[in-house]
Amino acid sequence: GAGVSQTPSNKVTEKGKYVELRCDPISGHTALYWYRQSLGQGPEFLIYFQGTGAADDSGLPNDRFFAVRPEGSVSTLKIQRTERGDSAVYLCASSLRPNDEQFFGPGTRLTVL
């Protein structure tokens, strides 16, 4: 069956621009997670959705970051006024239920020039 998909696979933008990263989870998975991974580090938790609501957004670094999941399936991570320090791979993962094993998408590599 189809796994988690993410678009775009690569995004290059200029400092100060706005970007949107999309995640399409495995069908039927209720829990959706966003992570950020920098080189040589493990995934860093950003936000967790259970259904349509953000159950935990404590990992979002600041108010430039926002994420939605309006229909409980596809999610969009939005970053305003991008900074060079936002450059990383943004990973999305989904699980059938909370606390179950997570399955990751291929990631979006964001480069802010």
Partner 1 sequence: QKEVEQNSGPLSVPEGAIASLNCTYSDRGSQSFFWYRQYSGKSPELIMFIYSNGDKEDGRFTAQLNKASQYVSLLIRDSQPSDSATYLCAVNLHNFNKFYFGSGTKLNVKP
Residue 31 as a binder of partner 1 (CB under 8 A): the answer is: yes
Q: Are 69 and 78 in contact (CB under 8 A)?
A: no
Shortest distance, CB of residue 64 to partner 1, whole angstroms?
Answer: 21
Q: Quickly count: other Cβ atoms within 10 Å of residue 59's Cβ.
A: 15
Q: Binding mask 32-51 vs partner 1 (x if CB under 8 A, - otherwise)?
A: -x-x----xxxxxx--x-x-
Residue 87 makes contact with partner 1 by CB under 8 A: no
Binding site for partner 1 (CB under 8 A): 31, 33, 35, 40-45, 48, 50, 55-56, 58, 91, 98-99, 101-107
